[in-house]
Structure 1
Amino acid sequence: MAAMSEPFSPEERAAVYRAIAERRDMRHFAGGEVAPELLVRLLEAAHHAPSVGLMQPWRFIRITRPELREAIHAQVEAERIRTAEALGERSDEFMRLKVEGIRDCAVLLVAALADGREAHVFGRRTLPEMDLASLSCAIQNLWLAARAEGLGMGWVSLFDPVALADLLGMPPGSRPEAVLCLGPVHAFYDEPMLVREGWAKERPLEELLFTDRWEQR
C-alpha cells in the first residue's frame, strides 16, 4: 500500500477529476435499487468529509415508507408553486423545469444539521454557518462517490424546513437542509440540466478568480 504522502497514480488522479467533472445534479431516475452494502459505502464516503472543529454536524435520514416519500413530494411541490409565483415573469418557464426525482429515485435521503450545534465554538465563533459548510462537504463526498459508482444524485432544496422537520420528528435546534434523490439513471446529462434547459449559463473560472483584492484580476 502506498504511503499517504505519495501522490495518486496518473490513472487514479484522472478518475478523481473525471468524477468531479461529470458530477451532475440529476432529476431523471430509472427506478431500480441501490444494494445495501453500496449505500453504506456511499454514506461512509459522506462521513469522511471534513468538518469544522470535527463537529460532524451531519445527520442522514433514509426515507423508506412510501407514504412518507409522498408527503415529502407534496411539500416540495407546494414550495415549487410558491417559488414560481415569486419568480414573476419567469414563472411559466420555471414550472416547465423538472426540479426533483423524489418519486422515481431508488433511495431518498434527507440531509440535516444536528441539534446542539451551539456547543461547538471551535471555528464557528465568528462564522457559525460553518456547520452548514461541513454538511455541504459531506453531501459533495456522497455525490462524487455516487458518480464514481455510476449512480445519479440530485439535491432538492424546495421545501419549508420547519414543515419537513415536523414531518420527520426532528428535535428542536436541528434543521433539514437537503432532500437527496439517489439511484440508477438512464444517462447522465452531458452538461448541467439548467444550462441544457436554457435557465442559466455557467460562468468561466477566470471571471471568479481574483488576486489580492476583490475584482482585481
Structure 2
Amino acid sequence: MKDQPVCAQAYSEDERSAIYRVIAERRDMRHFAGGEVAPQLLARLLAAAHHAPSVGLMQPWRFLRISDRSLRARIQALVEEERVRTAEALGERSDEFMKLKVEGIHDCAEVLVVALTEDRERHIFGRRTLPEMDMASVSCAIQNLWLAARAEGLGMGWVSLFEPDALACLLGMPAGARPLAVLCLGPVTEFYPAPMLVQEGWATAQPLQLYENQWGVAP
C-alpha cells in the first residue's frame, strides 16, 4: 500500500491496513467457546450495525436479543427442523450436509435475531423498482456488526436455516415483520484460517469476476 497514491481524505496506512485485514479475516463461525459479551461491548457492536447505510434512510432492521435459554432452545429446534428438510432437498449430498456444523446456538455467548420491520411498504425511495432493497439494507447492518465483532476478537455466525413464519410467530413479531437471520455471537477459541465450508470440502471460493461495459466482457 505504500507505493499507491493516497487520496487526501484517506485514513492513515495503519488504519487502512486494519480495515482490509478485518474484511479478509471475517469468518462465518460455528464453533464458540461460551463466555459472555460485556453489555457495553454489545451496545457498541449494535451501534455499528445501526450506522449501516440503508436505502432512503429507512433503517428497516430490528434486533432481538434472545436471553431466555428455553427460547434459545426452541429457536435451535426450528433450525434443526430446517436442517433436516434441507438435507432431504440436497439429494445425493444429504449425508455430507448432515455432517456439517451449521449453527452454534447452544454454545455462543449471545443469540440475536435480525428482522425486517413491519410497514415497509410506505418506504418507496429507492424501492419503487427494487423493493428488495430493504433486505439489502439489513444485510449491510449485519455486515457492519460482523466486521466490528471480528475487530473486537469475537466470532459471529449467520444462521438462515429456519422457516421465517414459524420464527416470527415464536418471537411475537407483528404482521409484515420478517426474520432474516439468527446470529450467534461470542468468544471463540480460534478463527478458521479459511471459510469453514472450504475447509470441509463443501464448496470452493470463487475468484472475483469483473466485466466492463457489457455483461461477459472482460476489461
Q: Same fold (TM over 0.5)?
A: yes
State the one-letter code of the partner of 2:199.
R
* Equivalent residues in 2 for 1:104-119, closer than 5 Å: 104-119=107-122
Per the alignment, residue 133 of structure 1 pairs with 136
Cα offsets for 1:41-60 (capped at 9, x unmatched): 00000000000000000000
Tell me what 1:28 maps to.
31
Letter matched to residue 99 of structure 1: V
5+ residue gaps, structure 1: none
CA distance in 2, matches of 1:187, 1:210: 37
What one-letter code is carried by the residue in structure 1 that aligns with 2:183?
L
Q: Report the RMSD for the aligned CA atoms in angstroms.
A: 0.6
- Equivalent of 1:200, from 197, 200, 203? 203
Normalised TM-score (structure 2): 0.96
1:148 is aligned with what amino acid? A
Q: Aligned match of 1:79 in 44, 60, 82? A: 82
1:93 is matched with which residue: 96, 102, 111?
A: 96
Pairwise CA distance, 1:7:
1.1
Matching of residue 151 in structure 1 with residue 151 in structure 2: no
Give the aligned residue type for 1:78: E
In the alignment, structure 1 residue 39 sits paired with structure 2 residue 42: yes
**Cα distance in 2, alignment partners of residues 190 and 148 from structure 1:** 16
Q: Where in structure 2 are there 5+ consecutive unaligned residues?
A: 1-7
What TM-score do the two structures reach when normalised by structure 1?
A: 0.96
Kindly provide the CA deviation profile for residues 122-167 of structure 1, in whole angstroms up to 9, marking residues without a partner as x.
Answer: 0000000000000000000000000000000000000000000000
Aligned length: 211
**Stretches (4+) displaced over 4 A:** none
Deviation of the 1:6 alpha carbon: 2.3
Q: Percent identity?
A: 73
SS of residue paired to 1:44:
helix
Distance, in Å, in 2 between the alignment partners of 1:32 and 1:98 is 20
Distance 1:40 1:184 in 2: 16
2:18 to 15, 19, 22: 15
The whole-number CA distance in structure 2 between the counterparts of 1:92 and 1:73 is 20
Name the counterpart of 1:170. 173
